[in-house]
Structure 1
């Protein structure tokens, strides 16, 4: 690793907002059962801030679903939600899987403020599972009578890994959730919806 005195920087922080919104190319494949009556189809959506802190004694990635202020590049707020949900819709089994494609993960910890997310690690694969409740809100829906189903908890996670500060991390994020669009007492079945994104940081 280069001497910080020679390059003039001893620590740097990088941050990116990572959209949890389903990519346009995946809309039809992600949830075809909802395509007729939901535009766009149900999916695990929202924004997650990913920050990288790199210095002599640490190289960490921090995932935060509620960083306190601001919005994603599309104007939607940070957090985890399902858009265009009817008030009777239910959600369960939300899982975020993070794969570090290079470097070696040495530790994973939840940070102060983490709520209703349990985290496990197997090698460079980190799995965060949501165990909390969901609250329906009337805003952010585009269908008549629809709103958004919001996860009540917050994910705050720190991953420590080996990687030179001059080298990027290749990250893959996969999101899955079970959605029952009209609740357990109505005919439309629950469906598991998943999709993935990749970023470099």
Structure 2
């Protein structure tokens, strides 16, 4: 018989079983947060002004740039290649857009409803490299460029170890601009 103050092997085994998965998960989770010596500066902005809507097609374009060396304040070797691709979403307001689109630019674009996810190829690229993308979104019948203005929301959603800054000046085709998003 064991004394009341003694801890049984079964109790110890239960404690290990409960704590082990948490320790494994914490140890295996990749760090996404930027840390000194291990981050990369990016900027994004709308590339073109509002074009007329022709045949119910609105051109939405943007640029994402791995910013030049003078903005790489968080990596020791300011010419390091970026090791990942970047993903952005374009959310199309259903009061203006049907959800149908075509894509022109580097990488790929996939859609689900009125949300388009664009994967831009940045892996292996050095500072100064940029990707310009063009999305041709189908509008509802009779929509004008004025009605479509600021009805597409662009947002960076996957950017491991990236630090975002606004480097390019603001233009009249962007509203609600943050370092990671804007309305076009």
TM-score by length of 2: 0.52
User: Taking CA–CA contacts closer than 8 Å with sequence separation of 6 or more, which of the two structures ends up with the larger relative contact order?
Assistant: 2
Q: Which structure has the highest strand share of the two? A: 1
Q: What is the CA-CA distance between 1:130 and the residue it aligns to? A: 1.8
Question: Is residue 91 from structure 1 mapped to residue 83 from structure 2 by the alignment?
Answer: yes
The answer to whether the 8 Å contact 1:91/1:179 transfers is no
C-alpha separation in 1, matches of 2:98 and 2:51? 14
**Which of 47, 59, 80 is 2:65 aligned to?**
80
1:164 is matched with which residue? 143
- Describe the SS at the equivalent of 1:119: strand
Q: Which structure has the highest helix share of the two? A: 2
Question: Is residue 122 from structure 1 mapped to residue 118 from structure 2 by the alignment?
Answer: no
Tell me, which stretches of 5 or more residues in structure 1 are unaligned? 1-30, 66-78, 137-147, 182-193
C-alpha separation in 1, matches of 2:84 and 2:135? 21
C-alpha separation in 2, matches of 1:124 and 1:93? 22
Tell me, which stretches of 5 or more residues in structure 2 are unaligned? 1-31, 164-177
- Describe the SS at the equivalent of 1:160: strand
Question: Is residue 110 from structure 1 mapped to residue 103 from structure 2 by the alignment?
Answer: yes
C-alpha separation in 1, matches of 2:148 and 2:162? 39
TM-score by length of 1: 0.48
Q: What is the CA-CA distance between 1:108 and the residue it aligns to? A: 1.4
Question: Is residue 58 from structure 1 mapped to residue 56 from structure 2 by the alignment?
Answer: yes
Q: What is the CA-CA distance between 1:106 and the residue it aligns to? A: 4.3
C-alpha separation in 2, matches of 1:95 and 1:126? 10
2:12 is matched with which residue? none
1:141 is matched with which residue? none
The answer to whether the 8 Å contact 1:62/1:156 transfers is yes
C-alpha separation in 2, matches of 1:135 and 1:42? 11
Q: What do you get for the CA RMSD once the two structures are aligned?
A: 3.5
1:135 is matched with which residue? 125
